[in-house]
Amino acid sequence: MCQRRTKLVFSASTRPNFPREATQRGVQRGTVRARANINAAGDVTEVTIVAANPVGVFNREVVSAMQRWKFNAGANNRVYETEISFQP
């Protein structure tokens, strides 16, 4: 028996802020690849940083923003991976 997978659709998303500390340190751009676990209600239950360049500069902002993201209901135990680019 084949099980249908619910397509992930954003119902709300927040773009991460460019950290003031990055600007103060002279960092002008970066990327973060992150993975979000999503429950049946469409809530993000966990965010994992997969890769970051530069390391550690933008991670907190990415995690904070992704924790507020909302997906369609019915996406139980799904994983969403994305890469976020930063420029001031």
- Note the pLDDT of residue 31: 98
Tokens 């397509």 locate to 7
Number of domains in the chain: 1
What span, in angstroms and rounded, lies between the C-alpha atoms of 77 and 14? 21
Residue at 46 is within a domain = yes
Residue at 50 is within a domain = yes
Residue 32 sits in a domain whose CATH number is 3.30.2420.10
- Note the pLDDT of residue 88: 73
| The pair of three-digit structure tokens given for residue 5, joined into one six-digit string | 């997978």
Residue at 36 is within a domain = yes
- Note the pLDDT of residue 5: 56
| The pair of three-digit structure tokens given for residue 45, joined into one six-digit string | 């239950």
* Averaged pLDDT in 10-residue chunks for the chain of 88 residues: 60 90 94 95 95 97 96 82 92
What span, in angstroms and rounded, lies between the C-alpha atoms of 4 and 13? 25
- Note the pLDDT of residue 12: 81
Q: Which domain holds residue 56?
A: 13-86
- Note the pLDDT of residue 75: 65
